[in-house]
Amino acid sequence: MQTFSENWVQNQLKGVHMKFGHFDNANREYVIERPDTPLPWMNYLGMKDFFGMISNTGSGYAFMIDARKQRITRYRYNGVPIDGGGRYFYVKDESTGTIWSPGWLPVRTPLDFYECRHGQGYTVITGEKDGIRISTRFFVPVDAPMEIWEMDVTNRSGHKKTIDLFSFIEFCLWEALHDATNLQRTLNLGEVEVEGSVIYHKTEYRERRNHFAFFATNAEIVGFDTDRDTFLGLYHGFHDPIAVLEGRCRNSIACGWNPCGAHHIRLTLNPGEVKKINFLLGYGENPENEKFSRKGVLNKKYIRPVIKRFLNRSQSEKAFLRLKKEWDSLLGKFQVQTPMPELDTMVNIWNQYQCYITYAMARSTSYFETGIGRGIGFRDACQDLFGSVHFLPQEKSRQRILDLAAIQWRNGACYHQYQLLDKKGNADVGVGFNDDPPWLILATAAYIKETGDWSILDALADFDNNPNDRAPLYEHLKLSFEYIWKHRGPHQLPLIGRADWNDCLNLTLTQVKPGDTFQADATTADLKDEVGSVPESLMIAAQFVWASKELKRMAEYKKDEAMAKKADRAAKEMIKAIYSAGWDGEWFLRAYDRFGNKIGSKENKEGKIFIEPQAFMGWAGIGIEDGKLEKALNSLRKYLYTEHGIILQQPAYSEYSFYMGEITSYPPGVKENAGIFCHPNGWVVIAECNLGRGENAMEYYKTICPAVREEMSELHRCEP
């Protein structure tokens, strides 16, 4: 079988597009038909607290609530080869000696049949070699913190077969950053216990944790390993473990170094026979005063019944049916039928599914986000609610808004991120992204419009997670408004701060230190000093107008006449400032820099026109009556639109500029320097709809619609 990379080179030369799978709408699944996708194609398991990221080969990792602080298993980002570490199985055929993996990785032996089906909260991976077909369904049940792996082993060969089956996972020592960097400690911590076919990972349980992980199977095992180097062999890899090559585990008990979980199962199958095996990878917790059953021994009283329940196939199948019903209920709340099947596919299934996943973990965990460097993003979480509030249980949306309000400061500024485990603002990143505060108003407005729950305005929320300093949400929203209104620049437009939505447009840099982020270096500029008090954002200006209109409606409901009048007056004054200082004749400017120079103007040599202000003016309804919005969107179409989507800005920056920041650090056409982002493309679709130009909106939508562009998956590389 040719690999993807070999085919990719040939097809690029021929101009031929490749296809790796298809949408199966009847089952609400995406079916991947070959394992060597352009990048690992990920799915997500879990709906509540326990989550897993799983690729089409079974790689990825699991975590409890927080991918940084409570990671269950290891995964190697940007490794060689890619997609290293995960839920691995090895099969050794007794008659031929052939070793293979049902998910292709990590052994990469060519398979006679392969298929991966990504569904909502589950993935099914099937592989066949020499008449043995192994199909495994991975999912997280609604009511338990674990992954369930339901494996069916079928003998399709026509004669009796005996195989050795090995399972393998590698435990993360909980805190993912320390696990990867503080080796002088972590390599001396690892502890496990083994009871029958259950492997318990209890690193740090003896001192500061009351939780543990486990890896279990209901199959009779002939051996196990809990020390990674014993199972793999020091100079071997995931692709050729010494235990598999030799056909036996050594029953190793990890003490420090790298704990793992591996089971050795021997199966003999008659022709047509099916063996059903369950595996569980999960999280357990004990009361602080009941951590041990006797000195040094993990108390298993509470977890044994749970493990027993889900190792039973009839019980795990019931759990899967419950998961399916949960998704039936969520997705069933909004369904469309249109003349465009691709639109139906995305709106009825995949857009809503993606919105739930981003609600659950924002951008904290993906193939490109390691789960270490960030938690839940403030602006991200607010926007995620726009697409999920209609189907989420009301209490989930409500609590997310109150959690976000609780990381706001008394002055109205907001932490840019917070960690899910403790819900505290990320002090390492801090505040100063000035588009954050208005998003809280807009998310609350979206929530009220969908649910009718005006009582949320009276719900109490902390300031900076301080329970002794609280106020009703409505007061938080007014502070968000006041923060922008008080921090305006020379043109009476909002100050940009460290950045707005475009994190790489850093107009307040005062230094650039190797190793720091551009956003970190921007923190040295105060909004009142000579650098921070000048750069202004037209995107935030439009966002503020939109948020002010929403706040006015809330103030009217609260019978707060003074606030209603102030919000109305502020919106009108901001529109005047936009018209007088932000209109460039054919489109809206992007920003002003620290010298008062225009960014996103026809006067600029590079970066003449940007997507964000044109889209946000459309969202806010600015320029509809006098034709300015139509002109701006026409200019956007003329200069930014391509067959592959709308570009962030043009022309791209060809040289680095200290006064522009990170945006100019990327090569032209890459990332924020004139790349194509799906996110703001969606904003333009909304702007065109608000202008009444549905044909344009649909045309733009098709350029970023995965179901439309499925035939050119190799260009996008990521999951459809």
Query: Could you say which of 503, 521, 584, 593 is catalytic?
Result: 503
DSSP 414: B
Is residue 563 within 8 Å of residue 545, measured between CB atoms? no
* Distances in whole angstroms, Cα of residue 138 to Cα of each of 172, 239, 308, 446, 465: 20, 22, 18, 34, 37
How far is the C-alpha of 27 from the C-alpha of 324, rounded, in Å?
11
Could you give phi then psi for residue 713, rounded to 5 degrees? -60, -30
Smallest CA-to-CA distance from 125 within 5, 209, 38, 41 is with 41
* Six token digits for residue 114: 């392969």
How far is the C-alpha of 364 from the C-alpha of 453, rounded, in Å?
29
How far is the C-alpha of 615 from the C-alpha of 686, rounded, in Å?
8
Indicate the helix (H) or strand (E) that contains 4.
helix 4-14
CB half-sphere exposure, 60, CA atoms < 13 A: 28
- Positive/negative CA dihedral, 20, 25, 26, 30: positive
Is residue 716 within 8 Å of residue 675, measured between CB atoms? no
* Distances in whole angstroms, Cα of residue 53 to Cα of each of 57, 150, 467: 11, 17, 34
How far is the C-alpha of 146 from the C-alpha of 139, rounded, in Å?
8
CB half-sphere exposure, 616, CA atoms < 13 A: 28
- Chain length of the chain: 720
Smallest CA-to-CA distance from 445 within 409, 469, 480 is with 480
- State the residue for tokens 């290293």: 84
Torsion over CA of 674, 679, 685 and 689, rounded to 10 degrees?
A: -130
Is 503 in the active site? yes
Smallest CA-to-CA distance from 26 within 391, 322, 341, 316 is with 341
How far is the C-alpha of 219 from the C-alpha of 356, rounded, in Å?
35
Strands 274-285 and 192-195: unpaired
| Rg, the chain, Cα only | 27
How far is the C-alpha of 213 from the C-alpha of 202, rounded, in Å?
7
Could you give phi then psi for residue 217, rounded to 5 degrees? -145, 155
How far is the C-alpha of 134 from the C-alpha of 256, rounded, in Å?
34
- State the residue for tokens 């907001």: 414
Contacts of 626 (CB under 8 A, 6+ apart): none
How far is the C-alpha of 259 from the C-alpha of 189, rounded, in Å?
9
Reading phi first (left if > 0) and then psi (alpha if -120 to 50, else beta), residue 77 is in: beta
* Six token digits for residue 199: 């492997």
Residues marked as catalytic = 503
